[in-house]
Amino acid sequence: MAEIENITPPVGEEIHLPGPTIVPLVLAAGLAVFLIGLTTSVVVLVIGAIVLVGAIIRMIADARHEFSGLPPEHHR
């Protein structure tokens, strides 16, 4: 049996993965509270909206921070 050549190209750079964070869980909880507030009370709705908007802002800030750490050739 002939050996199969490795046709995978060499790695040019490391794969970057973001660190662990609780923000997606907070975002989901805020959305759930917001949706429950639509059917129950305005107070629950406002609390859910505040948590939801805060989590979205935090996710955007984290993404911008991650993007700024990339090499210049990745900025388009």
Q: Is residue 63 in a domain?
A: yes
Q: Is the pLDDT of residue 4 over 70?
A: no
Q: How many domains does the chain have?
A: 1
Q: Is 7 helix (H, G, I), strand (E, B) or coil?
A: coil
| Alpha-carbon gap, residue 55 to 22, rounded angstroms | 10
pLDDT one-digit tens code per residue, 27-65: 999 999 999 999 999 999 999 999 999 999 999 999 888
| Range of the structural domain that residue 37 is part of | 23-67
Q: Is residue 1 in a domain?
A: no
* Mean pLDDT score, 14-38: 90
Amino acid type, 57 = I
Q: Is residue 30 in a domain?
A: yes
Q: Is residue 75 in a domain?
A: no
Q: Is residue 15 in a domain?
A: no
Contact predicate 35/48, CB 8 Å:
yes
Quick one: pLDDT at residue 49?
97
Q: Is residue 73 in a domain?
A: no
Distance from CA of residue 64 to its chain's centroid?
Answer: 11
Q: Is residue 52 in a domain?
A: yes
* Mean pLDDT score, 60-73: 80
Q: Is 73 helix (H, G, I), strand (E, B) or coil?
A: helix
